[in-house]
Structure 1
Amino acid sequence: MATYLGLDLGTSSLKALLIAEDQAVIASVSVPLTVERPHFGWSEQNPQSWIVACEVALQQLSTEQPEAFGDIAGIGLSGHMHGATVLGEDGHVLRPCILWNDTRSHAEAKALDDAESRAITGNIVFPGFTAPKLLWMQKNEPELFAETRHVLLPKDYLRLWLTGDAVSEMSDAAGTSWLDTGKRDWSDRMLERTGLSRDHMPSLVEGTQASGEVRPILAEKFGLKPGVVVAGGGGDNAASACGVGVAQPGTGFLSLGTSGVLFTATAGYAPVPETALHTFCHAIPGLWHQMGVTLSAAGCMDWLSKLLKEEPGTLTGALGETIAEPGRLLFLPYLSGERTPHNDADIRGVLAGIESDTSREAMTRAVLEGVAYSMRDCLDAAGDTPKPERLIAVGAGSRSAYWLQLMATVLETEIALPAAGDFGAAFGAARLGITAATGADPKSVITLPPVARSFAPVTEKIEAYRDGHRRYKALYPAIKQAMAV
């Protein structure tokens, strides 16, 4: 029986997940990684550490599961997006990889972000994207820039080691500011604007397609069969979408981690960059996805937990499961600035309407409501794009039934909580490995997980929460003006 491997290169760890032909999880390994911050706003990693971590993970799986590991037929890759891995003439790494959360190239991003770039890429050029990082190198490290022969995204450097081929795929490439996202091809114009050409770029495949095979020397070293296919894979969010079965238009997921993500699959390309909504290619051919991001979601509950000296689960658990009417207390969750829809790094959060008898329950409800309203902003940012019929909930915040019921009512969309299991980016990558190795229809492989519980909008409270959202939106310009004084 064939088995499949998903490799997810995260910022803090590399995860390897081995699954059977029926997608049952056989084993998983996580190897920690470190981030270097040599200056304020900088965030870097040594690409060699990714190779070392992958070797450790492969060796451990081959030792613990020799038979299943030896039956691997396909490998899928996922990884953190936007990183600039810069290679010289002979393929050696010229400098540490500049990561997605590195902000040094904010001036270069601002210069590159204009009507032309938005028309081509469908997105604002954010400082975390790859292209402005190369402009920063051109200005601040001109000798290294002159030596640059290839620029790879993090997971694609791992692919280069695995297969010997410089290849990327559409979902990850869409986060570089070099891809013509509608055409699913590199943009000669955007490359020209950063002093590069197609020769500096990897070739492109779809996430479900084969990008190469594991090199014989590695197959022999780790006990793999010859000819193991490596799939195109996906950027971390697209791979996560594959993990939870978001493979058709009208489906999406709601991630309530430290930050919040509202990800929806779309059949067509309909960018709205002015709302700071990401419009990227999906890892599945013929699909795109729109992604709204709020920078503080469950992170807001962590903040409140520290303030009140109570665990987040204790605070939310005290509310029960039946949602109340919207409170008078309003919370803007902009603890670290905001992405969608404001693209405002300087705005900060506020708790407005505190009274002498304001309780911890009222504060907890206000924080949960504020994050729910911010996710409603993400939903509305898509404009006329059809809204998802159902969202799959993932992340630490999905443990709160009250929050999911609130989210369903504010978003006016059913929210489904998956049954216990591993449906993350590594699982999605393994699924992409199946499609590449077998040629199966992605929709037959990338299916929805079993649902433990569903939350429908509370119809009689929808209008009250619409009004609450209107009050929430009115607060932002007032706070923005006050902070500018």
Structure 2
Amino acid sequence: MGRPCDIIIGIDAGTSVIKAVAFDLQGTQLASSAVRNRYQMGDAASGTNRAATQNLAQTWADCASALRGLGDKVEGLAARCVALSVTGQGDGTWLIDAAGEAVGDAWLWLDARAAPTVETLSQSPQNRARFEATGTGLNTCQQGAQMAHMDRHHRDLLDRATTAFHCKDWVFFNLTGLRATDPSEASFTFGDFRTRQYSDTVIEALGLAHRRALLPEIIDGSRRTVPLCPRAALASGLRAGTPVSLGYVDMVMTALGAGVHTGDAGTACSTVGSTGVHMRAVHADQVHLNAAGTGYVICLPAPDLVTQVQTNMAATLNLDWALELAATLLAEFGTQVTHAQMVARIDDWMARTTPAQLVYHPYISKAGERGPFIDAEARASLIGLSSDHGFAELIRAVIEGLGMAARDCYSAMGAMPRELRLTGGAARSNALRGVLAASLNTPVRVSQRAEAGAAGCAMMAAVAIGAYGDMDACIAQWVTPLLGAPEAPDPTLTRRYSQLFDSYTRSRDALAPHWGGLAQLRANTRRTRDVLQKDIPQ
């Protein structure tokens, strides 16, 4: 008797890691394989430190390697695999030519070179109409902004291109040979979230009507699959003809796998990883578009359901920065401390410090902030220090800053959620869960799903091949049973954080006018340094 055909593979091509994960048809994770991703910060050729790029060929090679690695862990994987699906890092611009080859390296979501163009487009009288259609604030991360900037300053890239992909679209193209994108990234970048199609109003607002031919076909991977092509089968070790589903963007796939939509009213989902993603599932006609014109509206693979989203550019990246400060200092005195050892001390540091003593704004990213406000020059700040504050107080302030940032994001979307589903690496921290629950004054439930993004896109493939009648039936099997018990907020901490949030927002608003001046000062310093270096004899 042969082995059953009972495995779906979810591919999650993230910013730092590309994962291939095997699930059975009931949603149980069987095995995973990961390959470390590689990208480049800064651009020596143009002399800008705002660039963030990734090699397309290497990305596909790493994906194929992850799939082969999964085959090494699951006996008979190729014969047992009934479908695979792919999601990936959102935003960014991945250009290919008529032959399917890369037109230079991809511009990632971390790339901030489009900031001047975003500032110009944001002042356009057409920008509000663009926002009303997409539900998405314009920022440097997005393909629309990046292509508009390329059209002004790097026209050769668009002139040589025939298709503009996002990351997952590039992987899907290599898997199937089809040039396509999905309804989620298509509509929040160039379309209308109500129709899930491209919008002339949006494309014209970006000044890209003459580049429309670069936009690929939109397909819904929960309804349509495409056969795995022979070349990809050879590279991955899977069988040619295996159905491939194009998943939605990783943010919404992770939220789907973690429980953003389980039929319970008022629920929300936050992914607190390198970035912070905060979202709630609503019907398309219930979307709250804020006056500031920020956030995202991202379609779910379910009729008329969308997620309203606000995203922090940096979440645990702030904590990584603080821990690295300490580790570097200790290393200078000959003591080596690992990141894992530092993380293991966090709950102890939190236990012996007093809540709500400092204000930390977690804008540590060089690309600034995009949620719930957009400012490429925004930078982190720490307010209220005195001589009796030590490293433990700094760590508490950073973690409380993440709680304040989450509240800031949900405030921009309307009322606080009735319940928060939490995923991402930070969900394992008791201290962080407590801070988030108290910051939002809502119970927190942690998804036990280890690879929520890969699970989300695998669920799309499961529905597409008919293993489940619809997405709700799949959610009932794959998602709901893995939600932990609700963890109620501490009432005393909730009251303190309500006061802290007032200080957080007021001080942020007071600092905002100074970010641009500091950015100019840094730029002047760099130019002076570069001139001096040129004058030094070699």
Fold match (TM-score > 0.5) = yes
1:38 is matched with 43
SS of 1:26 mapped into structure 2: strand
1:462 is matched with 494
Matches of 1:407 and 1:143, distance apart in 2: 46
Counterpart among 159, 163, 167 of residue 172 in structure 2: 159
Corresponding letter in the other structure for 1:14: I
- Cα 1:107/1:315, change in 2 over 3 Å: same
Compute the displacement of 1:316 (Å).
2.8
- Cα 1:82/1:196, change in 2 over 3 Å: farther
Is structure 2 residue 56 aligned with structure 1 residue 47? yes
| 2:193–2:299 CA contact under 8 A, matched in 1 | yes
Aligned residue pairs: how many? 479
1:277 is matched with 295
Is structure 2 residue 347 aligned with structure 1 residue 347? no
Give me the CA root mean square deviation. Answer: 2.7
Matches of 1:408 and 1:13, distance apart in 2: 29
Q: Deviations over 1:57-98 (max 9, x none)?
A: 333333443423312111111011222222333433332222
Mapping of 1:394-433 within 5 angstroms? Answer: 394-419=423-448, 421-433=449-461
2:258 is matched with 244
- Cα 1:355/1:91, change in 2 over 3 Å: closer
2:320 is matched with 302
- TM (normalized to structure 2)? 0.81
Compute the displacement of 1:465 (Å).
2.3
Q: Deviations over 1:25-48 (max 9, x none)?
A: 222111233213434222222222
2:203 is matched with 191
Q: Which sections of structure 2, spanning at least 5 residues, go unmatched?
A: 328-340, 518-538
Compute the displacement of 1:199 (Å).
3.7
Compute the displacement of 1:225 (Å).
5.0
Counterpart among 3, 11, 16 of residue 20 in structure 2: 16
Is structure 2 residue 348 aligned with structure 1 residue 317? yes
Is structure 2 residue 128 aligned with structure 1 residue 112? no
Is structure 2 residue 228 aligned with structure 1 residue 214? yes
442-451 or 308-317: which moved more?
Answer: 308-317
Compute the displacement of 1:20 (Å).
1.2
SS of 1:50 mapped into structure 2: helix
Mapping of 1:53-452 within 5 angstroms? Answer: 53-113=62-122, 114-175=127-188, 177-192=189-204, 193-196=207-210, 199-216=213-230, 218-219=232-233, 224-225=238-239, 227-248=241-262, 250-269=266-285, 270=287, 271-272=289-290, 274=292, 276-308=294-326, 311-320=342-351, 326-336=355-365, 337-383=368-414, 387-419=416-448, 421-438=449-466, 440-446=469-475, 447-448=479-480, 450-452=482-484
120-129 or 350-359: which moved more?
Answer: 350-359
Matches of 1:461 and 1:32, distance apart in 2: 39
| 1:124–1:273 CA contact under 8 A, matched in 2 | no
Matches of 2:364 and 2:234, distance apart in 1: 50
- Cα 1:406/1:38, change in 2 over 3 Å: closer
| 2:187–2:197 CA contact under 8 A, matched in 1 | no
1:4 is matched with 8
- Cα 1:95/1:333, change in 2 over 3 Å: closer
Matches of 1:152 and 1:483, distance apart in 2: 33
Matches of 1:405 and 1:241, distance apart in 2: 20
396-405 or 298-307: which moved more?
Answer: 298-307
Q: Which sections of structure 1, spanning at least 5 residues, go unmatched?
A: none
Compute the displacement of 1:130 (Å).
0.6
- Cα 1:206/1:472, change in 2 over 3 Å: same
Matches of 1:44 and 1:329, distance apart in 2: 36
Matches of 1:481 and 1:92, distance apart in 2: 44
- Cα 1:83/1:211, change in 2 over 3 Å: farther
| 1:31–1:57 CA contact under 8 A, matched in 2 | yes
Structure with the largest fraction of helix: 2
Compute the displacement of 1:303 (Å).
3.2
Corresponding letter in the other structure for 1:457: P
Q: Deviations over 1:121-156 (max 9, x none)?
A: 222221121122222332334344234322222211
| 1:279–1:288 CA contact under 8 A, matched in 2 | yes
| 1:3–1:72 CA contact under 8 A, matched in 2 | yes
Corresponding letter in the other structure for 1:262: H
| 1:170–1:207 CA contact under 8 A, matched in 2 | no
Matches of 2:68 and 2:357, distance apart in 1: 56
Identity of aligned residues (%): 24
81-90 or 18-27: which moved more?
Answer: 81-90
Compute the displacement of 1:186 (Å).
0.6
Matches of 1:346 and 1:451, distance apart in 2: 38
- TM (normalized to structure 1)? 0.89
Corresponding letter in the other structure for 2:460: L
Corresponding letter in the other structure for 1:403: L
Q: Deviations over 1:296-341 (max 9, x none)?
A: 33233333334455824313323339x96x4333222233333222
